[in-house]
Amino acid sequence: MTQIVTVPTTPFEGQAPGTSGLRKKVKVFQQPGYAENFIQSVFDVVQPEPGAVLVIGGDGRFHNRTVIQQAIRMAAANGYGRVIVGQGGILSTPAASHVIRKYGASGGLVLSASHNPGGPDEDFGIKYNIANGGPAPESVTGAVHGRTGTIDRWLTVEADDIDLDRIGEVPVGAAKVQIIDPVADYADLMEALFDFAAIRKAVSSGFTMRFDAMSAVTGPYAKAILEGRLGFPAGTVVNGEPLEDFGGHHPDPNLIHAKALYDLMMSAEAPDLGAASDGDGDRNLIIGRHRFITPSDSLAMLAANIEIAPAYRGRLSGIARSMPTSAAADRVAEGLGVPVFETPTGWKFFGNLLDAGRVTICGEESAGTGSDHVREKDGLWAVLLWLNILAVRGISVDELAREHWARYGRNYYARHDYEGIASEGAKALMDGITARLPMLPGSRFGALTVGQADSFSYTDPVDGSVSANQGLRVLFEDGSRIVFRLSGTGTQGATLRVYLERYEPPLGDIDADTGTMLQPQIEAAEAIAAIAQHTGRSAPDVIT
Ligand code: G16
């Protein structure tokens, strides 16, 4: 009989999960009992059945291994019978989602702060996923937050650290801990979804690509799939070794942090496809030769062509996008006669729609795209779907984009981020807009007239749950819009996101400069929100 050890503790302030789990500086997580309090609060809320299976994995960032060893002991003390851990503590977020589903786990702990930087002075995070493989819904994260406020003990067993690098099974307390190959199950799933033979043929006919793993978790996955199973030459995957500090970079696949890839794709040496993924492997960046594809457009273009991939033939049931994501996907849904759903930001809001079979593909402006194959967004999946479509259709990214816009029109789109601003200024800005919302309809800003202005609220069509205050929307009469929202994933101060969008019909100007096309909306955003005054910044830090 293993001795369960009860460790007394007191609550820590501010253990509220954000858009995707609890994210804080490593130094905060290194306080004795900090991670333990949060993990115990999760276990207290989900109350695992005796003998239940728990999956644990992470993106390999600094502090991962320490927390994994502790979480294994705590899982054993809390009644889990089996703990499945990725070798080296590695599991990309989508791979963790798949492993939870495949092995019938009751849930999983994903240790990641996603695209946030890593290292002793940077960020760490813990997220709990439920049995469907997806992020815990607000009912669970809210209860976990509540529990962190009253917690007075956590449970562990007396056991040494185990060797996380050796595949096999070891006992910890009464639990069996199984260290698995983090890549194999996921790579098999990808091969079952896509036409690997068609992609291999394209590669042997000279199709080229570069995949930038950003020194984060997708390196081993991309090497095994792209260079191993699909035959791309060695060196196609760059920055393919996961590093604890991501080489000192932000593992955020956007035009700022993946600038080297962008520069290559705009140069004379550009391969056919450029792609990147983030810290934990759920985001993606797609750039064709001389053609950047926004995440919102990528969702629309993938949805329009998804039935080319073998596993999706004849079964596109619907499309879902987060509210700030452009309406490009709505036009595809309309064209194909399938429903479209507009959810709040956060992948957790897609879970019910996917489980109910009401949507097949989902996407977000924040570089997330995925389908019903797992319950997380999936960076490599999006890259492979692009490859499958390009290989079968024999066209370039640029040709596909032009063809798409010529049929559906183009939603010009940009997101302006003001990062690490003072929380009071951010609050004042949002409060200011909120107070003006009722007066905005009918107001003119340059050539734009406001048609509707509101705070977005979502009623889940499956379980009826309501999520209010999910972003402020200003919708203009010409169909363009501005959305203001505070990020839920930052770890310092506040980050203001301003989402700008304008639609051009197929016969309009569909090949213009995005910044120029959005100038009226940019000016209106400043006039409505007094961004410079509240943030003290004259320009955004990041434009994506
Ligand atoms: C997380 C969620 C995404 C969401 C994003 C938004 O992404 O998983 O579903 O779109 O946050 O972030 P913010 O609240 O900062 O706008 P990730 O990749 O960080 O897990």
Domains and their CATH numbers in the chain: 4-182 (3.40.120.10), 186-408 (3.40.120.10), 410-543 (3.30.310.50)
pLDDT band at 89 (very low <50, low <70, confident <90, very high): very high
Residue nearest to atom 5 of ligand 1 (CA): 346
Enzyme catalytic residues: 114
Nearest residue (by CA) to ligand 1, atom 17, is 114
Distance 113 CA to ligand 1 centre (A): 10
Ligand 1 atom closest to residue 278's alpha carbon, by position in its atom list: 18
| Six-digit token string for 473 | 């929307």
487 CB near ligand 1 (under 6 Å): yes
Which atom of ligand 1 approaches the CA of 490 most closely? 15
State mean pLDDT over 374-388.
Answer: 98
Of 366, 369, 376, 544, which is best to mutate to test ligand 1, by the most ligand atoms within 8 angstroms of its C-beta?
A: 366
Is pLDDT above 70 for 1?
Answer: no
* Whether the Cβ atoms of residue 214 and residue 330 lie closer than 8 Å to each other: no
Percent of the chain with pLDDT over 70: 100
Among left, alpha and beta (phi > 0; psi -120 to 50; other), residue 265 is alpha
pLDDT tens-digit series, residues 265-321: 999 999 999 999 999 999 999 999 999 999 999 999 999 999 999 999 999 999 999
Could you tell me if the CB of 388 is within 6 A of ligand 1? no
β-pairing, 53-58 vs 175-180, is unpaired
Residue with tokens 């795209």: 369
pLDDT for position 18: 85
CA of 134 to the centre of ligand 1 (A): 13
Ligand 1 centroid distance, CA of 449 (Å): 31
Report how far residue 148's alpha carbon sits from residue 37's, in angstroms, rounded to the nearest whole number: 7
CA distances from 282 to 13, 157, 252, 279, 364 (A): 29, 33, 11, 8, 11
Q: Is the pLDDT of residue 466 over 90?
A: yes
- The answer to whether the beta carbons of residues 217 and 242 sit under 8 Å apart is yes
Using most ligand atoms within 8 A of CB, pick from 97, 345, 541 the residue to mutate for ligand 1: 345
